[in-house]
Amino acid sequence: MALSDAEIRDEMITILLAGHETTATSMAWVMYRLLQHPEVLETTRTEVASVFGNGRQASLAEQVAELGYLDAVTKETARLHPVVPIVLRYLEAPTRIGDFDLPAGSVAVPCIYLTHRRPDVWPDPETFRPERFIDRRVDPYAFFPFGGGAHHCLGAAFATYEMKIVLARMLARVSLRPNPVHTVRTVRRGITFAPSGGLPVIRAADPCPTELRTELQRARRRPGRLRYQAVKGLVSFGARRIALSLFSSSLPLGRPDPCFFKMSL
């Protein structure tokens, strides 16, 4: 049976709008894990450079398909940080799950978060190890960040493709390091699990713009709390909301400064 125009519209809204929040949050979690594991970050950057920097003429789809290690990184991140922690299934017929007989009309709620951390399924489950997903076929009942079955997430393939493109471009063009005084926690944001505080990071960037640097020099002369508030007030310069890192005050102002910004994901 063909879909109506209204149903097609609803499906497109699901892909293009509802999926953006979850995809952006997933990318923030990937960057968090990469910055916590420098060896994984270096391996990923090397792969990206080899795929996009070899001068070979290839379509974007072909290049993305070659990012096997980045693919493993995104999957291992999704294992530890599923953006949506549960899925719901309405049972149309009586069903037996384990030792439980569930009548028709019941709602089964598989917990993605707990399943992904079961030690009998994932040895050493709290350890971030992308190698789990390299050259290995994963059981869809053990790993299902996009749900499963006939109602598997409609935008799963699109979201995965989009993430790998954005992350590859980001890793190729900018060097980041974690903010040493920000502790990332998992917090509820609507129906999603997101990193607290928007994942502030430090960028090894080009020198801050002249007009911003002038204001920052004035702000840094203020004492204590006033200094913090003044610098914090400057975190609204363009789309990246750049401000000089409070934690590099001893850095000579004539050199490129690490700039503090919040990933607006």
* Domains of the chain listed by start with CATH number: 1-82+114-173 (1.10.630.10), 179-265 (no CATH)
Which position has the higher pLDDT, 143 or 263?
143
Whole-prediction pTM value?
0.73
Question: How confident is the model at residue 254, as a pLDDT?
Answer: 35
The rounded radius of gyration (Å) of the Cα atoms in the chain is 22
Query: Would you say how long the chain is, in residues?
Result: 265
Question: How confident is the model at residue 150, as a pLDDT?
Answer: 80
For residue range 97-112, what is the model confidence (pLDDT) as tens digits? 889 999 999 999 999 9
User: Under a CB-based contact definition with an 8 Å cutoff, are residues 219 and 203 in contact?
Assistant: no
Q: What is the mean pLDDT of the chain?
A: 79
To the nearest 10°, the Cα dihedral for 102, 104, 105, 110?
Answer: 40
For residue range 41-59, what is the model confidence (pLDDT) as tens digits? 999 999 999 988 755 656 7
Report the alpha-carbon distance of residue 27 to residue 40 in Å, rounded.
Answer: 15
Report the alpha-carbon distance of residue 73 to residue 164 in Å, rounded.
Answer: 10
The mean per-residue pLDDT over the stretch 234-258 comes to: 36
